Amino acid sequence: MKKSRAILVLVIMLIAFVGIGFIDLWGIDGKGKGSASDINLGLDLAGGVSITYQVVGEEEPDATDMSDTIAKLQKRVEKYSTEAIVYQEGADRINIEIPGVSDATQILQELGRPGTLYFIAETSAAGLKNYSRKTVTDENGAVSYQYTLDRTLEELEADGSIRLVGTDVADAKAESMTNKMGNQDIVVSLLMTEEGKAKFATATTEAYTKGETLGIYYDGQFVSVPGVNEPITQGTAVIQGQASFEEAEKIASTIRIGGLKLELEELHSKVVGAQLGVEAISTSLKAGLIGFIIVAIFMIAVYFISGVASVIALALYVVLVVLLLNGFAITLTLSGIAGIILSIGMAVDANVIIFARIREEIAAGISVRTSLKTGFDKALSAIIDGNITTLIAAAVLWFLGPGTVKGFAQTLALGIGLSMFTALVVTKLVLYAFYGIGFKDEKWYGVAKARKSIDFLGKRKWFFSVSTAIVIVGFIVMGVYKANTGDALNFSLDFKGGTATAVTFDKPMTLEEVTSDVVPFVEDVTGSAVQIQTVQNSNEIIFKSSSLNVEQREALDQMFLEKFNVPKSMITSETISSTISDEMKSDTLIAVTVSIICMLLYIRIRFSDIRFGISSVVALLHDVLIVLAFYAVARVSVSNTFIACMLTIVGYSINATIVVFDRVRENMAEMTRKETLKDVVNKSVTQTLSRSIFTSLTTFIMVAALYVLGVTSIREFALPLMVGILCGTYSSICIAGGLWHVLREKFPPRPEEDI
C-alpha cells in the first residue's frame, strides 16, 4: 500500500469513528438525542409499563386456564419487546411488564381487553338479522363498511347464532400468499382446534348456502366480517382483503388474544422504574470504559503496532454496536450485555489469532509484508469456524428461544457480525496502512519465540479426574440442598415466584435510597434477597421477596410502621408466580438442544471428523456443569440472567475449542512420519496456548470490571461468568484435545474418513 493511500485509509477510519461516535452521542444533526440515549432498555435497566389484569367472575379460576392464558399473553406482548414478561399475581390476577415504553394508555388500547371473541352468523336460524352494515365514505372518497350488532350477545348465544368462540381458534397469523392470478395477497390465516374444526365446518357450510358472511366480534366491535366462498371442513382458512401486513397482523393478534380461556379486565396500570436503578447503567458504562482501556493497554503492550490496529478496530466496533442497537430497535438488558461481552471477546480473539500467525511467519524468516498477508490467510479458517459456529447457535436461539433468550441472541448475532467485520476488514486495512506509512521493521510486530511442545496429553488422566471430581462434588452439593431445602440451587423469584409487597411512603424515594436505607431491613425480616421497583409519579415502592407466610407479612408490616412510619393501610401484599414459566424453560431447552445439534453438524462438515464435534460438545457440557457446580457451592442466586450466563459460556467454550481443533487439523495435514497423533495434539495446544490465555485474560478483564464496579445483581451475573471464562480456557487447553485423541484411538477412522 502506497504511503498516500495508507494515510487516506487512516484518515477515513478516524472520520468514521468520530462521525459514528458523534451520532451515538448527539444525533445526526447534533441537536437531538444520540443513538446511545435512544437505545431500548429492558425493565432491569430502564423500567417500563406494568399492567395488572383480573379475571372476570366470582369463582377462582382454574390453574390450567391461568397457565394457558399467561402463555398466550406472553406471545402477544412480545410484539412490544422480546423482554416483556407475564406472570401470575395472587389467585386471579395476571401482571404484564413491558420494558422501554412509558405510555400505559396506548398499550392498553392496542392490547385490548383480553376476553371472549365470537364468530357470529349473519342471521339466526329463525331468520333474524344479527348485525347490520353501514356504508361510510371518508373525505378522500374511500368507501368502507361499519358493522353493528342488532341484538345482544345474550340473545345471540341463546338462539345459537354464536357459532364459535375464541378458544376454538388454535392460531391466527398474518401471511403473504400467491393468489390464482399469481399476485401476492396479504391474508390472515386461521387454524382451528379439533373441536373448533367441526364447528367451523358447520358454520361456513350454512353461511355459504345462505350466501352470508360470518362476523368476528371482539371487545364491543367487529374485527372482520369476511364472506364465505365455500364450506371449510379442514380446520384452516384465510381472511382476504387486508390493505397491509400491519393491518393483517393487528387482526391476527386480536383473534389470538380473543382466544384466551379467561376473560380479563384491567385492574390498574403504572409506569415502573428500572429494577437495577440508574446506578446500574452508569456503573456498567464506567466498568466497560475501564475494561476497554485496560484491554487496549494490554493489546498494545503485547502486540505493539498490531495492538494499536486492534484497538482502533475495537473502538470502531463499540460505536457501531451502539448505532446498530438503536437502528435495529433491539431491547438491551443485562442478558444483552452478556451477548455483547461475548462478541467483544470473540473480536479480541480474532485479532489475537491473526497477530500470533503473523509472528509465526516472521519467525520463519518471511518478510513482514508477506507475513501480514499469510497471517490473515492462515487465521481465516479458525476465525470463520469459531464465529460461524457461535452464530449458528445465536440464530437458532433467536428463532426458537423464548423472549428473554431472543434478546441475548439478537445482541450476540449483531456482535459476531461486527466482530468479524472489524477483525477481518478494519484491522487488516489499518495494519496495512501502518505498514504503508513506514512501520515495516519486524520489531513493530514481534517475532514468535520457539516453544517446546508441552505434554498436555500425558497429563490428561489428571485433567479428566479433576474435572470429574468437581462435577461430582457439584451434584452432591445440589443433592444435599435438594434434600434439605427442596431446591438444588439458590433459585430466585424469577424461577420460584414469591411475594410482592407494595408500600406507599410519605415522601418520594429513589431506587438508590431504597436500596441503601430500606432493603436491609426488608431482607432481615424476609430472610431472602429482595428485588425492588419504583412507580413513576408516586411514592409507591414494590418489594419482591421469596414467599412469605402470614407471620412474616405481619412482621414486615410492623417493620415499615416502626422504621418508616408507614401505616398498614398503605401496604398491600400479593403472591406472585415465577416470571420464567415452564414453557419458557422448555423452549430454551429445545432451542439449546437444536443449536448444539446444528453446531455438531457444522463441525462435522467443516472438519470431516465427527470426533471433533463430539469432543467440542463434551467440552462445552463440561464447562456448563462446572459452572453449575459453582452456582450450587457458592449459592449464587439463579435469576433470569442464569440462562444468558450459561448461553454465554456455551458460545465462549465452543469458540475456544474450535481454535485448537483448527490447528490440530492443519498440523495433521503437515505431520511427518516421525510424528504421532499425540505429538500433533500437544503441538497444536502449545501453539494456541498464548492465544487461549490472552483472549481469556482480555475477556476476563471486561467481566471483572463489571463485577468490581457493578451493583449486586450485576455482580451475581458477572461472578459465574468469570468462572465460565476460566473453565472455557481450561477445557480448550486441557480437556478438548485429550477427548479427541481418546475418541480417535478408541474409534479409529476408516481410510476414506481420514483427514
**CB-based contact 1:433 (threshold 8 Å):** yes
Mean pLDDT, each 10-residue run in order, the chain (755 residues): 84 88 75 70 74 80 82 76 80 82 67 73 91 84 84 90 88 82 84 91 93 88 90 90 83 78 76 65 76 88 92 90 82 73 78 90 91 91 86 83 75 85 91 91 87 90 94 94 88 84 88 84 86 82 87 91 90 83 77 85 84 90 93 86 80 86 89 87 92 87 83 78 91 93 85 51
pLDDT of residue 26: 77
Residue 535 and residue 659 share a domain: no
Residue 314 and residue 182 share a domain: no
pLDDT of residue 344: 78
Dihedral of the alpha carbons of 365, 368, 369, 375, in degrees to the nearest 10: 80
pLDDT of residue 106: 67
- Cell (9 digits) for 755: 483427514
Residue 483 lies in a domain: no
Q: Which of 559, 576, 593 is the endpoint of a domain?
A: 576
Residue 706 lies in a domain: yes
Task: Give the number of other CB atoms < 10 A from CB of residue 296.
Answer: 18
pLDDT of residue 428: 92
Answer whether 0.85 is exceeded by the pTM: no
Residue 358 and residue 436 share a domain: yes
Interhelix angle for 427-436 vs 368-400, to 10°? Answer: 160
3-state secondary structure of 543: strand
CA 137 to chain centre: 46
Residue 755 lies in a domain: no
Nearest Cα residue to 405 out of 628, 583, 635: 583
Nearest Cα residue to 368 out of 451, 447, 450: 447
Residue 616 and residue 570 share a domain: no
| Alpha-carbon gap, residue 557 to 373, rounded angstroms | 71
pLDDT of residue 480: 94
Handedness of CA 747, 753, 754, 755 (dihedral sign): negative
- Cell (9 digits) for 752: 476414506
Length of the chain: 755
Handedness of CA 579, 582, 588, 592 (dihedral sign): positive
Identify any residues that bridge with 455 across adjacent strands, giving them in sequence order.
Answer: none
Residue 99 and residue 227 share a domain: no
Residue 611 and residue 470 share a domain: yes
**CB-based contact 200:161 (threshold 8 Å):** no
Residue linked to cell 518478510: 367
- Cell (9 digits) for 553: 407479612
Identify any residues that bridge with 147 across adjacent strands, giving them in sequence order.
Answer: 133
pLDDT of residue 682: 94
pLDDT of residue 755: 44
Residue 610 and residue 466 share a domain: yes
CATH code where residue 166 lies: 3.30.1360.200
- Cell (9 digits) for 25: 452521542
Q: Which of 232, 259, 286 is the endpoint of a domain?
A: 259
Residue 599 and residue 742 share a domain: yes
CA 619 to chain centre: 23
Residue 244 lies in a domain: yes
List Cβ neighbours of 162 (8 Å cut-off, separation of 6 or more). 118, 119, 120, 121, 153, 156
Q: What range defines the domain where residue 367 resides?
A: 3-28+31-39+276-444
Residue 553 lies in a domain: yes
Question: What's the Cα-to-Cα distance from 134 to each of 143, 155, 575, rounded to whole Å?
Answer: 10, 22, 48
3-state secondary structure of 90: coil
pLDDT of residue 404: 67
CA atoms lying within 13 Å on the CB side of residue 247? 11
Question: How many domains does the chain fold into?
Answer: 5
Residue 167 and residue 65 share a domain: no
Q: Helices (H), strands (E): how many in the chain?
A: 23, 17
CA atoms lying within 13 Å on the CB side of residue 501? 29
Question: What's the Cα-to-Cα distance from 357 to each of 345, 428, 728, rounded to whole Å?
Answer: 18, 13, 22
- Cell (9 digits) for 181: 392470478
Residue 549 and residue 465 share a domain: no
**CB-based contact 501:542 (threshold 8 Å):** yes
List Cβ neighbours of 468 (8 Å cut-off, separation of 6 or more). none
Residue 728 and residue 696 share a domain: yes
Residue 340 and residue 434 share a domain: yes
- Cell (9 digits) for 304: 505493539
3-state secondary structure of 43: coil
Residue 488 lies in a domain: no
Q: Which of 520, 542, 576 is the endpoint of a domain?
A: 576
Residue 111 lies in a domain: no
| Alpha-carbon gap, residue 577 to 83, rounded angstroms | 17
| Alpha-carbon gap, residue 135 to 146, rounded angstroms | 6
| Alpha-carbon gap, residue 363 to 357, rounded angstroms | 10
**CB-based contact 386:346 (threshold 8 Å):** yes
DSSP state of 313: H
- Give the H or E element holding residue 641: helix 641-670
Residue 449 lies in a domain: no
CATH code where residue 9 lies: 1.20.1640.10
List Cβ neighbours of 752 (8 Å cut-off, separation of 6 or more). none
